[in-house]
Structure 1
Amino acid sequence: MKLKDLIEALAGEIERARGQLEDSLVPLATLDADDPLFLDAWDQYSGHAQRLGEAAELVGFPGLQAVCTHVAQNCLLLTATPLDEREPLLQFLRGWPPLIVHYLHNLSDPSAAVGLIDHLVTAPDPLAEDESLKIMHMLGAMPLQVDGLGGDNDAAPRQVLATAEDVAVVWPDDIDARLVEGFQHEAPEQARYLVQLARNMASGQADSSDVVAAKRTAHTLKGSGAIIGLRGIASLGHHLEDILDHFESAGSQVARPAAEALLDAAFCLEQMVGHALGADEYPQQARSVLQTVLDIANRIDRGESLEEPLQRVAGPVAAEEPAARAAGAVATPAAGMRVSVQRIDELFRISGEVSVQSAAMEARLKTVVDASRQLLAQNLRVQKRLFELETLVDVRTLSTLRSRGSRRTGPGFDALELEQYSELHSTSHALVEEAADARALSMRLEEEIAQMGAVQAQQQRLTKDLQHLVIGTRMTEVSVLESRLQRNVRSTCQATGKDAALVLEGGETLIDGDVLGRLAEPLLHLLRNAVDHGLETPELRTALGKPAQGRILLQFSRQGQQVVLRCRDDGRGLDLPAIRRRAIERGLVPEDRMMPDEEVARLVLLPGFSTRDSVSEVSGRGVGMDVVHEWVRGMNGAIRITTQPGRGSTFELQFAASLSTVQSLVVEIDGQRFALPSVHVEQAVPRGVGRFDLVGGRLVYHHGGRVYPAHHLADATGLPRARDRGLDVHDAVLVRLDDKTHALAVEALLDARELLVKSPGRYARHARGVAGLSILGDGSVAVDLDLPQLLGTGTAREVPRAATAQAVARQELPGVLIVDDALTVRTALRQLVQDAGYHVEAARDGIEAIKCLQVFKPRLVLTDLEMPNMNGVELTAHLRGRGDMKEVPIIMITSRSQDKHRRMAREAGVDLYLTKPYNDAELLQAMREVIAG
């Protein structure tokens, strides 16, 4: 066997090098580090270790390569270690060559690998625990690798002719937006990398590492295309990967004709990816490129030479290209530009700051306008006083002149003659003129301020337009969740033996992407409960005169800045007597307490509450509705439940469309301003319209012929309440929490506006009842309140909540570990399995999966075969060697269908081997069967 011959050759090379290594250790043990002979010996020794590592890499054994790399790292210590302290280092360097030779001659003996790893761990520069674990698994997997690569390639017959459907690039109608996002994130860079590697092959500059990297990249692109449904990318990537696998196994340079074809295929794949993302045209040469790749792959399957020139396909194939191109262009999304989420968040933050500053400018401008008007009025008053002063000066002067004239003898000047006016007259006249000029300036200033106000109003409108546009970049239609929700309903029906149709209305409703991402899990729980608890079996529905197929209606609508979500089913409705009995059994409510139906229905929102006596993968743990309730509370939203026996139930959720901006009512208490989310506010009532009163020592509010329980907002927020302030001088805010209306007494109602909510910071984020902070137009800070938490109403107040209740319940869900190096595949599998009611963790490769197992104990492992660092076979071998994981079922999902790969997986301990593409329903059924044992 060629690979075993290479191992024997590598062992022989190390045996021959042992003498040279020993000779190099003599000067290393006796000479100072600055001696030229020492440096020459050090260079020879470390060079040997590095060359051995490179040889192991070329053979394809990363474990041996890592061993040699660690030896080379310890060699570096020689140059910095004093002569009298080198003995431990020299003992380590003497010991590793015979251990590697022993390991290579005894691959099937686990103790050989253990002895080598133990030596590395005790080195002066010891091997880290996680690194030693990684190398141990790579060394332990070498026997499987050797046996697996030596078998015959019993692949299924390969197609001969490429069709237009094989190269179509059409987005499926029910594509999940998260899969598209993952594809946009990783596929373009992978395609560019594949082109770079193919160029190296075509120019004759590629080595074996380039071939391995190209094969892995083609494998990832193929998997991404298959899981998303882009057939052209999946098909071309599949056959391209097989060709690269051949050249990797052969250990030779890629033949020139094949290399040229591989480069064409890489360019075609890159263009397909660009076309799928709306950034490039459809590759018209796609079908002819695929045909060439098929010809090469079939030559390989037949064992023919690849050195002869390839025959290019022409004629009929080229004639059908327009059809393939047209098909590929049907569902192509519009051209777009990739922008990081961090940049969008920063843009949103700046837009919010501009809005806040614009509001502050508006408030300051109002202050300036008021001051200008006051200044104008003051100028008028000053001018009036100056007129009075001028008149008084004239009267007094004339009076003085008359009295002087009566005492004079002889002729003199007339009292009105100019020469008789003094400097007082001049000063008073000058003051009058200055006052008139000042009034003219004030009027001009007022005109300028008015014009500035018009400019500011226009800027305010532009700022609002900018903010809405920026908010729009984060808004997503709720319809992107439809395929995931439909799949969730189907899988739940399969698990419960029921039949249901999900109808989505209002799918065009826009919601903040962050809100929508958080909404997915509560919606899945809501739909699972509707199927499992709400709908009857088809047989029972038929007996009751209902259609055999149940109907679940999911409605989305907008009311201002709020989103209203209604989930309605036509099932049996909530079993209110059973809910009440279970609540009494658990001590949640007294047996003699009278409860309206609405209050009984809300008991299903309690953590851990369930009317089921048995636990299944779908229900029985009391997790679902608690998750929904917690999400609604976290969104400062509201939830209402209505039910009719035999006709179904309706769960209505109301929450803000965006996490960043909230329509709020601003009130004031003791000089501090608070923002109340309008989703809870029913009415703001000024003083004098309603009436606060004390009844039996409890505060109530009379309004509209009804009496509401009331609270002082000052008491709830911990602010001092003026004891001398009468109840009649308080405004009231009617808020609805947990289907109950309460009245809040506040000192003042200030404003109702959309506020930008900011995090309160690490020191205040855990403060009870504080949802965030907002800056008002005048620069003051308003505290955004979480009213359900602040007032502790309804269900939250009746039952003490255990902080770990939900976490414990979540741990009871069957755990599944997903291991795959392709982000798109991981995302799709995570959603599928999680939507089916499992607790899911994911890892990129075997090493990351092993780290994950430190805190997560799965009931099932789903793994890919080909992954970097540690592949699926190596991971399986490791798990079967662990006491806590050797009985855990392992399902391998891969595109490799050859018998040699199946044999490798079976020998490693894989329970079930599935090939891509797989059927979702079959995979879920297989998971249930292997978990059930």
Structure 2
Amino acid sequence: MKLKDLVEALATEVERAGAQLEECLGTLAQLGEDDPVLFDLCEQYSGQAQRMGEAAELAGFPGLQAVCDHVLQNGLLLTVTPAGERGPLVDFLRAWPPLVVFYLRNLSDPSAAVGLVDHLCTAPDPLPEDAARKIVHMLGAMPLQVEAGADDEQPQRPVLASAEDVALEMPADVDERLLEGFRQESPEQARYLVALARNMAAGGDSSDVVAAKRVAHTLKGSASIIGLRGIASVSHHLEDILEHFEEAGGAVARPAAEALLDAAYCVEQMVGYVMGEDEYPQQAQRVLQDVLDLANRIDRGESLDAPLARSEEAPAVETVPQAAVAASTSGNAMRVSVRRIDELFRVSGELAVHGAAMEARLKALVDSSRQLLAQNLRVQKRLFELETVVDVRSLATMRARAGSAGRDDGFDSLELDQYSELHSTSHALIEEAADARAMALRLEEEIAQLSGLQSRQQRLGKDMQHLVIGTRMTEVGVLEPRLHRNVRSTCQATGKQAELVLKGGGTLIDADVLSRLAEPLMHLLRNAVDHGIESPEVRGRAGKSPVGRVMLDFSRQGQQVVLRCADDGRGLDLPAIRNRAIERGLISAEQVLGDDEIARLILLPGFSTRDAVSEVSGRGVGMDVVHEWVNAMNGSIRISSVAGSGSTIELRFAASLTTMQSLVVEAAGQRFALPAVHVEQAVPRGLGEFEQVGDSLAWRHADRIYPARLLAEAAGLPRDAGRALVDHDVVIVRFDNRSHALAVERLVDARELLVKNPGRYARHVRGVAGLSILGDGSVAVNLELPQLLARASRRVHDAGGSDAPTASKQEVPGVLIVDDSLSVRTALRNLVQDAGFRVEAARDGLEAIESLRGFRPKIVLTDLEMPNMNGVELTSHLKARADTKDLPVIMITSRSQEKHRRMAQQAGVDAYLTKPYNDGELLRTIREAIHA
């Protein structure tokens, strides 16, 4: 419907409603304040006025909407005004509908708008003067809007800037990766925009205008993707102005150049505010008003040489919307490079290692001091014995000498001590030993105090390490928008209905782990919807809700993350899985497997029960990706299923790749660290019994028999032939839903270890996850048990084993995304990847052509305006090449004018979408273009 027809329809509607309003007013004027009918009639009148305002808002007429809002405000006074005083109010309410009808049918008459606003100023609750000027301004612009709409179906540019137009409130569900991309690219782009605007103000050439238009376009797209309305609004109108000057030859009028420079500075400050590095630009609304005035003058074809008049309707100073301030100040942060965080983590890890070494040294020192005290006691005992011997021998000698000399001095030898040099030396030695013991006791006290200090330092070191680790941790809830979008797109592709429920969104995981987890999660959800959830018809026949339910539950158990993906679908079709495995030669028809082992067949590379291949399933890629990720994370995976009730896949993995809770053991003289995520129990020697079953070793404990393996042999180290099996401790480990017994020479310790990369020379060593330095300075090898024991296992359930044949993988369709905005590229990449496609991205047409050397996509998504080579030029190039002439091209741009569409169609674009695009529509267009 054209705008003129819409205006006439509005006039007719107001005219028709006026009769009903008049009837209500006639009754309301006679009712008393306590009459219950009064409130019903007031509500009826207010509802009619409110519906008129909503209709004006939908039609894009803000002035008419403001009129209805003010009438509604006065209409509410009917319930509080005594019956005898309602005359002026009823007269006001009776006169406004005819004035609105007269205005709508005489838009070209300025007196119609003035008369309507004058009537609003005479209301019992009169219209303020500043608000009246704004409404007159908006009503006066409506004729231009209607005339422009008659020639162009595009939305009319607003006339007045509002506080909402320059708000910078961050959406609560913003994708963290999109926000990070905005933070990376926008500050430099804003600075570049200011530099170009300064060049234009100084009389620059047309290249500055072209470059500034491209930067404004990129900033607009990035801000729109995230939801930053203020930056998007200013950039959008700024881009339109720059496009006008580009078409005019690049010469920018001086007054316009000043307005463009103010706008560029404002955008730069807005970006700084979002980054937490600057204050909110208080002049933002005024700057946007100047930009709108300039853009509207261009739209009307007026001269730009005259200075821009400062709009009286826009206040000089505005207050920042409180929601925007709260959103920004609550998220104040300092940007620190990942390298710096890694370095801090390395230092804290080294501090923990040295703290453990100090602890070991202090323990040795305590033992030495205790040994010293014990030694002092023994020495003192010997000295006492020596003193006794010396006294006895000296007494005997003295008696002998006295007898031989015939002397008698009147004293017996027991009545008067008589000392020799031997006496003096022995007594001095005893005193020195006592002093040495006292010093040893003081040394023990000092060591005890030092141990206390070391314990406190160790606690502080652990606190610091946890704080540093916390800088790397991210809530899993940041993935929620992508996960919901993934489920929605899978439902659209399969014709099913399902809802995603996320629990434990606040669980913290290392950011690196979380980024790696995204792809396996998408495969899990696609698998749950496509293979698990039934169609609405089938669910209805089974007595289930037409909408299926997929639940992702995250939780922490110590240093482990437990992820459960459960659905209420049909469950696994175990007979079909077994038959497909037999068809592909993965198992023999005679082989007997339990339900758990059959269920784990879906983890085999290339395994799928589907005969047809689609974007969602049929290639055998999904669960293989999940299993490979779990093995790489040294985690475990369990699958359970109940026919008709759904299935559950449980993943367990470490929350961080840099630290790991481990059990340290010793085998063949080497220390190994076993991940605690796999350890079920550590059993000292003597509590179990080893048995030889054929060529295999088993271990019996607590009425259970476990397949056993010497850790030294599994690690490729020589076994100590002189050590019997009974002289080994045992560690029970569990992975791939099975328990194993590992025989080790000694259980050393259980602690949290800092895992270091083994280096490029050891990256291909099977079963080694990294290295850790222990407190005594020795090195422990962190083991990846599933890889280490894979070759020893002959079970089919081990998908990583070399004995299991693999099925060929079908190629996943590729999509090439071309856009100069990092935020837009990231948003499109996430959307398309979540839908099950492979993705490559390029910044412009030239880079896209270079990407085609090694990447063969099924479709190309491109922006229109890009540097070096734009979307139209890229499309023309692709359609001219023999190898890409049939390649579908979808153009996604903010340009919605008909001339841009015609230009794209002439170049050969297969589909033309405008931003902001609808995710479902885009995915549907991609699928239709690929299968066309």
TM-score, with structure 1 as normaliser = 0.80
C-alpha contact (below 8 Å) 1:288/1:314 kept by paired residues: no
2:217 counterpart SS class: helix
In 2, Cα distance between the equivalents of 1:799 and 1:291?
64
Out of 468, 471, 477, the position equivalent to 2:469 is 471
Q: Does 1:387 align with 2:384?
A: yes
Q: Is the 8 A contact 1:282 1:328 kept in 2?
A: no
**How many angstroms apart in 2 are the aligned matches of 1:535 and 1:321?**
53
- Mean Cα deviation higher: 657-666 or 274-283: 274-283
Counterpart position of 2:121:
none
What are the superposed Cα offsets for residues 452-488 of structure 1, whole Å, 9 maximum, x if unpaired? 0000000011011111111111111111000000000
User: Is it true that 1:741 corresponds to 2:702 in the alignment?
Assistant: no
Secondary structure at 1:490's aligned position in 2? helix
Deviation (angstroms), 1:254:
2.7
Is 1:809 the counterpart of 2:805? The answer is: no
Q: Which residue of 2 aligns with 1:144?
A: none
Instruction: Mark the CA change 1:232 to 1:429 in structure 2 (over 3 Å): closer, same or farther.
Output: same
The residue that corresponds to 2:683 in the other structure is: 685
The residue correspondences of 1:215-364 to structure 2 (distance < 5 A) are: 215-315=213-313, 317-318=314-315, 321-322=318-319, 325-329=321-325, 331-332=327-328, 333-364=330-361
In the other structure, the counterpart of 1:407 is 404
Q: Sequence identity of aligned pairs in percent? A: 70
Q: What is the distance in 1 between the residues matched to 2:770 and 2:416?
A: 75
Q: How does 1:417-566 map to 2 (within 5 A)?
A: 421-566=419-564
TM-superposition CA deviations, 1:186-205 (whole Å, max 9, x none): 22232233234334444x26
What per-residue deviation string (whole Å, max 9, x for no partner) do you get for residues 282-326 of structure 1?
Answer: 4343233222111111222333221211122234x439954x723
The answer to whether the 8 Å contact 1:154/1:899 transfers is no
Q: Which amino acid aligns with 2:931?
A: A
Q: Is 1:368 the counterpart of 2:365 in the alignment?
A: yes
Q: Is the 8 A contact 2:587 2:796 kept in 1?
A: no
**Residue in structure 2 matched with residue 722 of structure 1 by the alignment:** 720
1:209 offset after TM fit, Å? 3.8
Confirm or deny: 8 A CA contact 2:171 2:227 kept in the other structure: yes
More displaced 10-residue stretch of structure 1: 411-420 or 460-469: 411-420
AA matched with 1:866? E
Would the alpha carbon gap of residues 425 and 209 (structure 1) be closer, same or farther in structure 2, given more than 3 Å must change? farther
- Which amino acid is the alignment partner of residue 753 of structure 1? R
Residues 209 and 438 of structure 1, relative CA distance in 2, 3 Å threshold: farther
Once residues 733 and 858 of structure 1 are traced to their aligned partners in structure 2, the CA distance between those partners, rounded to angstroms, is 50
- Aligned counterparts of 1:328 and 1:555: Cα–Cα separation in 2: 32
- How far apart, in 1, do the equivalents of 2:669 and 2:800 lie? 35
Distance in 2, Cα, partners of 1:776 & 1:799: 31
Matched to 2:322, the amino acid is: A
What's the offset of the Cα at 1:662? Answer: 1.0
- Residue 863 (structure 1) aligns with: 862
- Which amino acid counterpart does residue 736 of structure 1 have in structure 2? R
Work out whether residues 681 and 733 of structure 1, in 8 Å CA contact, stay in contact via their aligned partners in 2.
yes
| 1:790 matched residue in structure 2 | 788
Deviations 1:217-237 (A, max 9, x none): 212111101111222211211
CA change 1:439–1:297 in 2 (3 A) is same
Partner of 2:821: 822
Distance 2:251 2:281 in 1: 28
Provide, for residues 564-620 of structure 1, a one-character-per-residue CA deviation record: whole Å limited to 9, x for no partner: 111111111111110000001111111011211111111000000000011011100
Structure 2 Cα separation of the partners of residues 257 and 870 of structure 1: 32
1:769 shift after superposition: 1.0
| 1:318 aligned counterpart, secondary structure | coil
Give the 3 Å change call, closer, same or farther, for CA 391–314 of structure 1 in structure 2: farther
1:276 deviates by: 3.0
Kindly tell me: are residues 602 and 252 of structure 1, through their superposed partners in 2, closer, same or farther at Cα, counting changes over 3 Å?
closer
- 1:176 maps to 2:175: yes
Contact 2:736-2:798 at 8 Å conserved across structures = no
Instruction: Output the CA distance in 1 between the equivalents of 2:376 and 2:852.
Output: 81
Taking a change above 3 Å as real, the CA distance of residues 803 and 843 of structure 1, as seen in their structure-2 partners, is: farther
TM-fit CA distance, 1:508: 0.7
Question: What is the match of residue 662 of structure 1?
Answer: 660
Q: Does 1:604 align with 2:615?
A: no
SS state of the match for residue 821, structure 1? Answer: coil
Give the equivalent residue in structure 1 for 2:880.
Answer: 881
- Whole-angstrom CA distance in 1 between matches of 2:804 and 2:776: 40
Secondary structure at 2:809's aligned position in 1?
helix
Q: Could you say if the C-alpha distance between residues 918 and 805 of structure 1 is closer, same or farther in structure 2, counting changes exceeding 3 Å?
A: farther
Deviations 1:107-141 (A, max 9, x none): xxxxxxxxxxxxxxxxxxxxxxxxxxxxxxxxxxx
Q: What's the CA shift string for 1:730-758, capped at 9, x where partnerless?
A: 21111112111111111111111111111
Deviations 1:790-811 (A, max 9, x none): 11145464775599979x737x
Note the residue ranges of structure 1 that are not aligned, 5 or more in a row: 1-151
- Displacement after TM superposition at 1:213 (Å): 3.1
Amino acid at match of 2:809: A
**SS in structure 1 of the partner of residue 854 of structure 2:** coil
- Residue 422 of structure 1 deviates from its aligned partner by 3.8
Are 1:606 and 1:795, in contact at CA under 8 Å, matched by a contact in 2? no
Moved more, 426-435 or 812-821: 426-435
Determine the C-alpha separation between the residues in 2 that align with 1:435 and 1:875: 95
Query: Alpha-carbon deviations, 1:339-373, whole Å to 9, x = none?
Result: 11111111111111111111111111111111111
Q: Which residue of 2 is the match for residue 847 of structure 1? A: 846
Change (3 A) 1:213 1:426: farther
Q: Deviations over 1:142-177 (max 9, x none)?
A: xxxxxxxxxx99976433333443323222232211
Alignment check: 8 A CA contact 2:207 2:250 kept:
no
| Aligned partner of residue 809 in structure 1, secondary structure | coil
Q: Secondary structure at the match of 2:302?
A: coil
Find the counterpart in structure 2 of residue 921 from structure 1.
920
Per the alignment, residue 21 of structure 1 pairs with: none
- Residue 211 of structure 1 corresponds to 209
The aligned amino acid for 2:324 is G
Report the count of equivalent residues.
777
Moved more, 769-778 or 167-176: 167-176
Counterpart secondary structure, 1:840 = strand
What residue ranges of structure 2 are gaps of 5+ in the alignment? Answer: 1-150
Matched, 1:619 2:610: no
| CA–CA distance in structure 1, aligned partners of residues 158 and 905 of structure 2 | 28
Q: Distance in 2 between matches of 1:818 and 1:697?
A: 56
**1:708 is aligned to 2:706:** yes
Q: Are the equivalent residues in 2 in contact too, given 1:571–1:647 (CA < 8 A)?
A: yes
Matches within 5 A, 1:20-169: 157-169=156-168
For residues 180 and 220 of structure 1, do their structure 2 counterparts lie closer, same or farther at Cα, with a shift above 3 Å needed?
same
- For 2:916, the aligned partner's letter is P
CA separation of 1:917 and 1:387: change in aligned 2, threshold 3 A? same
Once residues 342 and 748 of structure 1 are traced to their aligned partners in structure 2, the CA distance between those partners, rounded to angstroms, is 38
d(CA) in 2 for partners of 1:410, 1:398: 15
- 1:759 match: 757
- Aligned with 1:462: secondary structure? helix
Output one character per residue of 1:367-425: Cα deviation in whole Å (capped at 9) or x when no partner. 11111111121122222222222332232223222222222145679768999644333
Distance 2:216 2:803 in 1: 49
- 1:588 touches 1:799 (CA, 8 Å); kept in 2? no
Secondary structure of the residue aligned to 2:321 is helix
* CA displacement at 1:428 relative to structure 2: 2.3
SS in 2 for 1:892: strand
Instruction: Provide the secondary structure at the position in 1 that maps to 2:264.
Output: helix
1:61 is aligned to: none
The one of the two structures with greater contact order (alpha-carbon pairs below 8 A, sep at least 6) is 1
